[in-house]
Structure 1
Amino acid sequence: MNRQRRAHAKSREGCKQCKERHVKCNEVHPQCMNCKRLDVQCSFSAPHLTTTPLNQDSLADLELLDYWHRHPVPANASRQSEQEAVRLGFSHHYLLNSILALAALQLFDKDRSQTRWYVRAVAHREAAITRARPHFQHLEESQRPALLSFSFYTSLYTLAEPLLRPASTGCQPNFDPVKELLQAIRLGRSSTTFVQQHLAPVVSSDPFLVVKYHPLKLEAIQGLESRFPQLVWLRDLIEHQCIGRDRTVCLDAVESLFLSIAYAVDNPHNPSQNRAIWGWASNVDSAFLDMCSAQNAHTKSVSMFHAPISAINSG
């Protein structure tokens, strides 16, 4: 009478070595009995991990984040505000993209030969816009603080990027600084309108955001003409070349512009210095912007002086 082998319950959880030898594994971790007896490496003792190496873009972004921590924007922002923005960015990637875009633009400004930083800035800005768009279309309470910071940083980027754009991009032959400035101003005004309508309760938590989205008209300063001879030249040009409503609009624009420049110079470490950037763009008469769009020579002369304000602030 033949003895029958006793059947055993089959398991598919045995180690790799026992499966290859077609023997029963006792499935003891971290080394099964068979592998221990034969003194061989057991697959149970090797954790199954997949590693993903950092690519060059990831390493570049780490460098950008480090630079941002050392050189936040605005330069006189509080440490708490800067850390809060980055913390929000890790859970709202469109905000992180907008932060890294500005950091890359700053690094490119330090060394214009490093065009890779400009390319990285553009890539992050495009990613930020793409990722943020659905959240603007379907506004949720949890997104409001991040969208507010995103709007702020995107406005800064739009103002600074045309001034730093390298000629190698192929856009420089048709580069129109006034057109670029007008686009930045109109975007900033649209951003301000949206924030005031939908995100106003969040603004009051940060002094930088208050002056961006609730800009005030500055008080008059005595002696502007002696400090800025360009003001006298522009005023005379407008008086002789413009008439009626156009003259009034242009004179008001040039006066408020140089007032903003003076305020920026006199308050380099004051958070409210940002009024100098956003105040003029937010308060200037829309008729002046329309005249600029129509390529009015006198308004173009005035608007070209707005660029130094952003340079003063970034420095």
Structure 2
Amino acid sequence: MARLRRPHTKSRKGCVECKRRKIKCDETHPRCFNCTRYDVPCSFGTDHAAPAAIWSPSGSDGTVRGIPSACPPTSTPPVDPTGSHTASPAPSQLLDLPNPGGQLWMRDLELMHHYCTVTANTMAHHEGTRHVWRTVFPEEGYVHEYLMHGVLSLAALHRAFLIPGQRNAYLTRSAHHYTIGQTTFSALLPAVTSANWRSVFCFATIVIAHVLCLPLQPAGDGSDTATPISKTLELFSVTKGIKTVLLPFIPQINITSLAPLVHSVWLVSLDPPPDLKPSLKYSPLPEDTFQALSRLSNFFDADDELRNKPDYQNTVAVLEVSATQIAYAGVNIEVGAILLCPFFIPDSVIAGIKERQPHALLVLAYFAVFLNALDPTAEVGDRERFREMMEWPKKHVYLGLMK
């Protein structure tokens, strides 16, 4: 008997986004279920709309303009003023050329290609999170020009690290895009809404990436503002500032395409709490991290000279939460798990670090084990009890740098 053919269930009139994702669309108007679920624009709600303005390269005057969403022809090589064809320069030569608009366009194409093929894959260990960096960020950038500048600035910063011979040129290009993007980003911060919070969140993540790269950049005039402690303080300040602005929208991340950024960090729920001190045997953290943090907590608890004692105890508790998430991640930890401390550290502890108070610098030293970077010139006081508490972070940061 002939086998009955299975009925065809594909959606033939689905929205553009569902077709792009190759998933079935329920064809609900004015916004289908999938687009509602992932909080992305749905073509059903934009029928007969004019082509949207998307990001375009900088013009010859350094400005940015919107252009219709159509791809420029690629088969015709550049033409000089006399009308004859000229050969396209190799990507490695682009940074040495003058600044006509066409060459800026080519430089940005180089950066975008590098971002999608190389940089994005270095921003995370988990493939789901890499997808967010590789696909979701650029998609948001097509709609929000300032975010695209942030993406290109990150690519240029990465190439500056990979190609020392052209480091200054790429750092200059990175600063160019970052400055343009940050101007709009700063203007949006006081008025974040449900319509723009996604792009603001994405650019805020890029800002944190730039701050984390500060220790790799030249110190400049060698002033105190360029010390590792001050750079770490900037990380704390930026992270907490972003938290304050985006806090009302953070719960929405879990129902958007940005969700992997959170899920890759919070691998285990703390309500109810799991094993509070899991094994760190297969983690980059020292195996005695929880014991060291316990000693630090007892040290703070027994010190009658310490003001704001609950804030310091809370900071140690945050480090323990961070260590717990890292323990469950194994060797493939995401940067976000380390940034829990800057995200939740109390303001009084940050103020203590700024004032170079010994207790606060102890916190910074223990956090340095998580970052594996400590300012060797930092002083935590000349009293023997502080020197004793410094032995653990000094030991493990040194061993980490030797690996």
C-alpha distance 156-174 of structure 1, shift in aligned 2 (>3 A):
closer
Match of 2:379 in 1: none
Post-superposition offset of 1:196: 2.2
Distance 1:232 1:213 in 2: 21
Which structure's relative contact order is higher, taking Cα pairs within 8 Å and 6+ residues apart? 1
Query: Does structure 1 conserve the Cα–Cα contact (< 8 Å) formed by 2:277 and 2:290?
Result: no
Match of 1:12 in 2: none
Distance 1:183 1:203 in 2: 28
Distance 1:262 1:214 in 2: 10
Q: Does the alignment pair 1:284 with 2:308?
A: no
Distance 1:178 1:229 in 2: 24
Alignment of 1:1-315 (within 5 A): 54-55=102-103, 57-69=104-116, 70-72=118-120, 73-76=123-126, 77-79=129-131, 82-112=134-164, 114-139=167-192, 141-158=194-211, 160-167=212-219, 169-171=220-222, 174-197=225-248, 200-201=251-252, 204-205=255-256, 206-210=258-262, 220-222=276-278, 226-228=287-289, 231=292, 235=296, 243-246=305-308, 248-254=310-316, 256-257=318-319, 260-261=322-323, 263-264=325-326, 266-267=328-329, 273-307=334-368, 309=370
Query: Does structure 1 conserve the Cα–Cα contact (< 8 Å) formed by 2:293 and 2:316?
Result: no
C-alpha distance 105-127 of structure 1, shift in aligned 2 (>3 A):
same
Post-superposition offset of 1:299: 1.4
Tell me which moved more, 191-200 or 285-294: 191-200
CA RMSD of aligned residues (A): 4.0
C-alpha distance 232-290 of structure 1, shift in aligned 2 (>3 A):
same
C-alpha distance 138-255 of structure 1, shift in aligned 2 (>3 A):
closer
How many residue pairs are counted as aligned between the two chains?
A: 258
Identity rate of aligned residues, in percent? 14
- TM-score, structure 1 normalization: 0.64
Query: Does structure 2 conserve the Cα–Cα contact (< 8 Å) formed by 1:152 and 1:209?
Result: no
Which residue identity lines up with residue 348 of structure 2 in the other structure?
A
SS of 1:54's equivalent in the other structure is: helix
SS of 2:124's equivalent in the other structure is: coil
Post-superposition offset of 1:233: 11
Larger radius of gyration: 1
C-alpha distance 94-260 of structure 1, shift in aligned 2 (>3 A):
same
SS of 1:170's equivalent in the other structure is: coil
Query: Does structure 2 conserve the Cα–Cα contact (< 8 Å) formed by 1:61 and 1:100?
Result: yes
What are the Cα deviations for residues 155-204 of structure 1, in whole angstroms up to 9, with x where unaligned?
A: 3322x13221224x335665232222222222212212221225753553
Distance 1:293 1:304 in 2: 14
Which residue identity lines up with residue 179 of structure 1 in the other structure?
S
Post-superposition offset of 1:149: 1.3
Post-superposition offset of 1:67: 2.3
Distance 2:198 2:178 in 1: 19
C-alpha distance 84-231 of structure 1, shift in aligned 2 (>3 A):
same
Unaligned 5+ residue runs, structure 2?
Answer: 1-82, 84-99, 281-285, 374-403
Query: Does structure 2 conserve the Cα–Cα contact (< 8 Å) formed by 1:212 and 1:274?
Result: no
Distance 1:128 1:173 in 2: 27
Query: Does structure 2 conserve the Cα–Cα contact (< 8 Å) formed by 1:276 and 1:309?
Result: no
Post-superposition offset of 1:295: 1.7
Distance 2:244 2:260 in 1: 17
Unaligned 5+ residue runs, structure 1?
Answer: 1-45, 47-51
